[in-house]
Amino acid sequence: MSYTKTPDEIKKIREGGKILGKIFEAGGLPAFKGFRGHESDPPFPNTICACVNDELVHGIAHKDKILKDGDIFTIDIGMEYPAFAKATAGKPVGYFTDTALTLKVGKVPEETKKLLDVTRKSLEIGIKQCVVGNTVADIGRAIQDYVEPFGYGIVRDLVGHGVGHAVHEDPRVPNYYDKAGEKWILKEGVVIAIEPMVNMSGNYKVKVADDGWSISTTDGGLCAHFEHTIIITNKGPIVATRRPGE
């Protein structure tokens, strides 16, 4: 299957992304509920990934996960849209979009605000690289060059990805320079999810919880995470999941 999308597929991705960007989920199916990255993985139990403080991705929401003043909370959500389209000739039922953001809970320290601001801006810097003729490596280089001078760590084990026909597709989209990304040239119709995951401590190592899903920093440092679904066009990048006010 081609990693580019047709104009009709792009139209559906833009429609789904607009909905996801406005209200996070309406008129579509939750992409993460029951998702398995590999056959051996347990099915993901929630409709969203809910991460607090040192958790960066795949956090499971449960009644004992209680937010308190000073926390940061990351919501990561994916959607398949249209929700009840019929598959024809082996084509996908719907098209996937993916987005995430980290929120402040109550009053947080200035250093925490800075972490969120830098991570959010790094996403926008990555988006600016999404022009025809650039490569995936250009995205990672730009994000890394901006983030690391602050003394922060960029997660290596988890990266952005292609999206649209499935929740995760090629290419891998690292938030740091990776020579392998030079072979992935951005062209019209490519759809990717860029998602910087930035650790305050400078550490970039992560660990997986016993639940098989929740991933956290190994040293307990705070981690921020922002994500958008981006469509590459000859007129520049389209942020399919742009939220009102951004």
What is the structure's pLDDT at 161? 97
Cα separation, 106 vs 112, in Å, equals 12
Does the CA dihedral 91-94-99-100 come out positive or negative?
Answer: negative
Which of 3-7, 8-12, 140-144, 201-205 is most confident?
Answer: 140-144
Show Cβ contacts of residue 213 under 8 Å, excluding neighbours closer than 6 positions: 41, 42, 44, 58, 59, 60
Q: Is the pLDDT of residue 85 over 70?
A: no
**What pTM does this model have?**
0.87
What is the structure's pLDDT at 109? 97
Cα separation, 161 vs 99, in Å, equals 12
Q: Taking the domains of the chain in order of start, what are their residue ranges? A: 7-35+44-239
Cα separation, 201 vs 165, in Å, equals 36
Mean pLDDT for 79-94 is: 68
Mean pLDDT of the chain: 91
What is the structure's pLDDT at 10? 92
What is the structure's pLDDT at 24? 55
- 164-218 tens-digit pLDDT: 999 999 999 999 999 999 999 999 999 999 999 999 999 999 999 998 889 999 9
What is the structure's pLDDT at 211? 87
What is the domain class of 7-35+44-239 according to CATH? Answer: alpha beta
What is the structure's pLDDT at 1? 60
Q: Is the pLDDT of residue 131 over 60?
A: yes
Mean pLDDT for 23-28 is: 62
Q: Which band of pLDDT confidence, cut at 50, 70 and 90, is reported for residue 91?
A: low
What is the structure's pLDDT at 172? 97
